[in-house]
Amino acid sequence: MAKTRDALGRGLSALIPDTEPEHLEEQPSEVDLDLLVPNRSQPRSVFDEEKLEELSRSISGTGLIQPIVVRALDGDRFEIIAGERRWRAAQMAGLLRVPVILRDVPDEKLLEVALIENLQRENLNPIEEGEAYRRLIDEHQMTQDAVAVVVGRDRTTVANYIRLLALPREVQGEVVAGALSMGHARALLGLTEALEQKRVAQQVLDRGLSVRDTEELVKRLGRSTEAQTKPSRVELDVHTKEAQDRLKVALGTRVRIVRQGKKGRLEILFNSENELQRLFELLTTK
């Protein structure tokens, strides 16, 4: 894993190798700002207007110091690989031309490169990060292990971000807005029903609960639910609980093992057709 973390730390050059080493020392070229178009695989969906304005004021005073990385398109246009925030701020600052560095990046690498560029700058919110990992899995047929290698993260971390996508859209929206943290969201995943997750999320917001308070609330609700279950339902032993937790991580969704005597059932929950399709392919692909 140290090797992959080193690759992430080296930046985009680790993912966009040049065939000619001397090209890395090439001075950036300037192009018309209106010739640039956004990255179609941009993993970030939220651009903070206040921070863009701050960056715009900085660019107005000192210019655009860090070039935008682009690739060539037909018609003398360029697609942004890394630096869409700088491009947007440069527009706000009224720049007509910006420095760019041209790179040859194939379509299948666009999302990967954009994701790593954003991770290095810590610009993605947890939902955007989870969606980016899911896209790498769905669109590029990558496993969670492969994604972890590409982005230089632990596989469990990748799985935890993907699990956030099982939360209701309303709850995800609060995470995107920053009202709920990653810790809050993970705690809410301890609830199995979407309505209960939304209800508790609203309590967290209304009462300003900390992550620890939220975890305790979810535990109390879980104990209350268990007390209402049928007597024939057998409490899970430590090994079965561990198996249930490992299945949650492996599948990236909520999983429940229900024992009734020596029998029982395995429940795998999903919230959308896309998630069902992903789980189907994951479970049936050898």
Q: Which residue has the higher pLDDT, 212 or 270?
A: 212
- Residues carrying an active site annotation: 84
Question: How far apart, in whole angstroms, are the C-alpha atoms of residue 46 and residue 42?
Answer: 10
User: Does residue 240 share a domain with residue 223?
Assistant: no
In this predicted model, what pLDDT tens digit does every residue of 145-186 receive, in sequence order? Answer: 888 887 778 889 989 999 999 999 999 999 988 899 999 999
Asked whether residue 31 is assigned to any structural domain, the reply reads yes
pTM across the whole model: 0.55
Percentage, residues of the chain above pLDDT 70 = 79
Asked whether residue 160 is assigned to any structural domain, the reply reads no
Asked whether residue 76 is assigned to any structural domain, the reply reads yes
pLDDT above 90: residue 187? yes
User: Across-strand partners of 263?
Assistant: 260
Cβ(82)–Cβ(69) below 8 Å: yes
Question: How far apart, in whole angstroms, are the C-alpha atoms of residue 195 and residue 206?
Answer: 17
Q: Which residue has the higher pLDDT, 43 or 58?
A: 58
User: Does residue 131 share a domain with residue 207?
Assistant: no
SS3 of 33, please?
helix
Average pLDDT over residues 232-248: 76
Longest dimension (CA), the chain: 73
User: Does residue 118 share a domain with residue 208?
Assistant: no
Q: Which residue has the higher pLDDT, 23 or 173?
A: 173
Average pLDDT over residues 119-126: 68
User: Does residue 262 share a domain with residue 218?
Assistant: no
Least confident among 58-62, 138-142, 157-161, 226-230: 226-230
190: nearest Cα among 129, 142, 261, 254: 254
Angle at CA of residue 15, ends 12 and 17, nearest 5°? 95
Angle between helices 107-121 and 126-140 (to 10 degrees): 160
